[in-house]
Chain A
């Protein structure tokens, strides 16, 4: 039996996003745990692990954020194929290798089969690189990774019964990387598989940067020296501090440049729209457009 679980802080979001996806993917005998949040995602997910672990026939537990919509109706078949390897403990649809911190997207992402669906500016979709395999780059592949994006995680029964989310790390950030690191430290595999999901979320990646920074530091301290690369960088601590502060300010400069580019491109397009709308060509062809609308 493949179980599904979500920790809910906003029932309306769950109903609009996660629930349709779970219904799309679940089988007749699937158990669905739609539980209110236990305060932190770590505690909430541990509670879901406890519930799922009680099922003797558990084949997998699928954990989704309340704003994650699974889009693959054949997810359960994909899970069974992937978990046929008994060493595989966690599966996702977005993962990376070469990871150094909770900013796993700074590493080499090998699979990103999701859409970021946003509501700002009238709404829209940002397609990640392996959403459509026909357009995927050469490095897109399913397989073993170092971490997964926690918005959609599939846990094998071994993981459900043996690995806990570390509640000492905070409220939200870093739970996915930490879980994957625990699994790998225990000698099991973390892998990506070919399924897809939509993440219904705003464009701002880190609405709570202070909490995120705290989690980044805690994770680095916990795992430095235990797993390759995590929390490591070349140079003395002084050199690392000065370089990171410079790179931080460089990132702010990039954001500022992008903001200026937005202004410039928006100004250009708004100008073109006005120019088009007020042109003689546009005005003299108005009857044509009216005619087409009437026959449409």
Chain B
């Protein structure tokens, strides 16, 4: 039996995203187990583990973030194939090797058909791993994305999420690292998943920074892809502060790129629509919009696919 479980912070998100996905993926005997979030994600997931890990017949425990929609009708079969290797303890839809920090997505990513669906700018879908995808599943990795974790019965019964990481940033990486320390494997599988989220990679940067520090403090020098750093803390601080400022300058350059790339398109659009002819035909478009109301609504509910680009 494969159990699907979620900790709900926003019921609506579960209803719209995780819930329909679980219904699509579950089998007849699957148990669906949801709890109201009681605080940190580590605490929530441990509560779920305490409740379901000892169930008879457990084949896998699928922990689904409420914004994650499983879009794969063969999900359970694929999970069974991934867990056929008894050494596999954790399966995900996206993961990475050479991980240097909680920002695992910046390492060498292995990800299958994981789609990010956003609502900004009229909505759309984007391949968020276009720049860092190094390969496709199946692959053994250092860690997998925490928004969809498939635990083997051994992992569900033996390991717990580290509640000392109070902020919860990097809970997935920490779990995967401990699982690997215990001699088990972390792998990616070709699971079709839709992530419903904003275009922001990190929602709350200040919180994320604190969580990053917590995890670095715990795993300092033992993260699999961490580049050699100076042994002397003063040298390391000087280097890190310089790298931070360089990264910020790089981020500023991206803002400039945003302006530079978008501005010509906006000018072209304005040149087309700020015309007498376009204003003259406004009633015609309004009438058409009314006439096609149903079709427009259907189109709006089916967001466009943005062309993935790299670089």
B-contacting 9-mer, from A19-27, A72-80, A139-147, A238-246: A238-246
Interface string of A236-280 (1 = CB under 8 A from B): 111011111111111111111111111111111111110011011
Query: Using Cβ atoms and an 8 Å threshold, which residues of chain B touch A217?
Result: 238-239, 242
A285 on the interface (CB 8 Å rule)?
Answer: yes
Known: A240-B241, A262-B257. A270 touches B265 (CB 8 A): yes
CB of B171, distance to nearest CB on chain A (Å): 16
CB of B126, distance to nearest CB on chain A (Å): 6
CB of A231, distance to nearest CB on chain B (Å): 8
Q: Is the CB of B103 within 8 A of A266?
A: no
Query: Using Cβ atoms and an 8 Å threshold, which residues of chain B touch A244?
Result: 237, 240-241, 243-244
Query: Using Cβ atoms and an 8 Å threshold, which residues of chain A touch B213?
Result: 242-243, 246
CB of A182, distance to nearest CB on chain B (Å): 21
Complex Cα distance A262/B308, Å?
11
Of A216, A237, A241, A267, chain B has the most CB atoms within 10 Å of the CB of: A241
A220 on the interface (CB 8 Å rule)?
Answer: yes
Interface string of B98-121 (1 = CB under 8 A from A): 000111011000000000101011
A-contacting 9-mer, from B20-28, B68-76, B195-203: B195-203
Q: Is the CB of A269 within 8 A of B269?
A: yes
Known: A103-B248, A106-B248, A284-B281. A120 touches B260 (CB 8 A): yes
Q: Is the CB of A264 within 8 A of B258?
A: no
Of B247, B269, B285, B307, chain A has the most CB atoms within 10 Å of the CB of: B247
Complex Cα distance A255/B284, Å?
42
Partner among A237, A279, A288 whose Cβ is within 8 Å of the Cβ of B237: A237
A205 on the interface (CB 8 Å rule)?
Answer: yes
Complex Cα distance A280/B238, Å?
61
B273 on the interface (CB 8 Å rule)?
Answer: yes
Complex Cα distance A203/B256, Å?
6
B212 on the interface (CB 8 Å rule)?
Answer: yes
Partner among A206, A245, A254, A259 whose Cβ is within 8 Å of the Cβ of B101: A245
Query: Using Cβ atoms and an 8 Å threshold, which residues of chain B touch A227?
Result: none
Complex Cα distance A35/B288, Å?
66
Complex Cα distance A278/B148, Å?
41
Q: Is the CB of A209 within 8 A of B250?
A: yes
Query: Using Cβ atoms and an 8 Å threshold, which residues of chain A touch B134?
Result: none
B-contacting 9-mer, from A83-91, A121-129, A157-165: A121-129
Query: Using Cβ atoms and an 8 Å threshold, which residues of chain A touch B277?
Result: 281-282, 285, 288-289
Partner among A122, A206, A252 whose Cβ is within 8 Å of the Cβ of B103: A252
Known: A237-B233, A251-B250, A267-B304. A281 touches B240 (CB 8 A): no
Closest residue of B by beta carbon distance from A210: B246
CB of A132, distance to nearest CB on chain B (Å): 17
CB of A221, distance to nearest CB on chain B (Å): 7
Known: A238-B233, A246-B216, A249-B101. A212 touches B261 (CB 8 A): no
B56 on the interface (CB 8 Å rule)?
Answer: no
B252 on the interface (CB 8 Å rule)?
Answer: yes
B79-137 CB contacts (< 8 Å) to partner A:
101-103, 105-106, 116, 118, 120-122, 124, 126, 128, 131
A54 on the interface (CB 8 Å rule)?
Answer: no
Known: A248-B243, A260-B126, A276-B272. A281 touches B285 (CB 8 A): yes
Q: Is the CB of B265 within 8 A of A273?
A: yes
Known: A260-B199, A264-B124. A242 touches B216 (CB 8 A): yes
Closest residue of B by beta carbon distance from A249: B103
CB of B235, distance to nearest CB on chain A (Å): 8
A138 on the interface (CB 8 Å rule)?
Answer: no
Closest residue of A by beta carbon distance from B205: A250
A233 on the interface (CB 8 Å rule)?
Answer: yes
Complex Cα distance A149/B272, Å?
40
Query: Using Cβ atoms and an 8 Å threshold, which residues of chain A touch B258?
Result: 258, 261-262, 265
Partner among A105, A122, A213, A288 whose Cβ is within 8 Å of the Cβ of B239: A213
B252-266 CB contacts (< 8 Å) to partner A:
252-266
Q: Is the CB of A101 within 8 A of B245?
A: yes
Q: Is the CB of A281 within 8 A of B278?
A: yes
CB of B173, distance to nearest CB on chain A (Å): 12
CB of B230, distance to nearest CB on chain A (Å): 9
Complex Cα distance A238/B220, Å?
11
Q: Is the CB of A251 within 8 A of B217?
A: no
Query: Using Cβ atoms and an 8 Å threshold, which residues of chain A touch B118?
Result: 260, 264
Known: A264-B120, A267-B121. A249 touches B248 (CB 8 A): no
Q: Is the CB of A241 within 8 A of B272?
A: no
A151 on the interface (CB 8 Å rule)?
Answer: no
Closest residue of B by beta carbon distance from A248: B244
Query: Using Cβ atoms and an 8 Å threshold, which residues of chain B touch A216?
Result: 241-242, 245-246
A30 on the interface (CB 8 Å rule)?
Answer: no
Partner among A203, A213, A255 whose Cβ is within 8 Å of the Cβ of B251: A255
Query: 11 A-B residue contacts at CB 8 Å?
Result: A206-B249, A217-B239, A231-B238, A243-B213, A249-B101, A263-B308, A266-B262, A268-B121, A272-B269, A279-B285, A282-B277
Task: List the 10 closest pairs (A to B, CB-CB), nearest first.
Answer: A285-B277, A244-B240, A251-B247, A216-B242, A246-B212, A281-B281, A103-B245, A267-B306, A237-B233, A269-B265
Known: A206-B253, A221-B238, A252-B247. 11 other contacts (CB 8 A): A103-B245, A216-B246, A233-B241, A241-B229, A242-B220, A249-B103, A256-B105, A260-B128, A266-B261, A268-B122, A281-B284
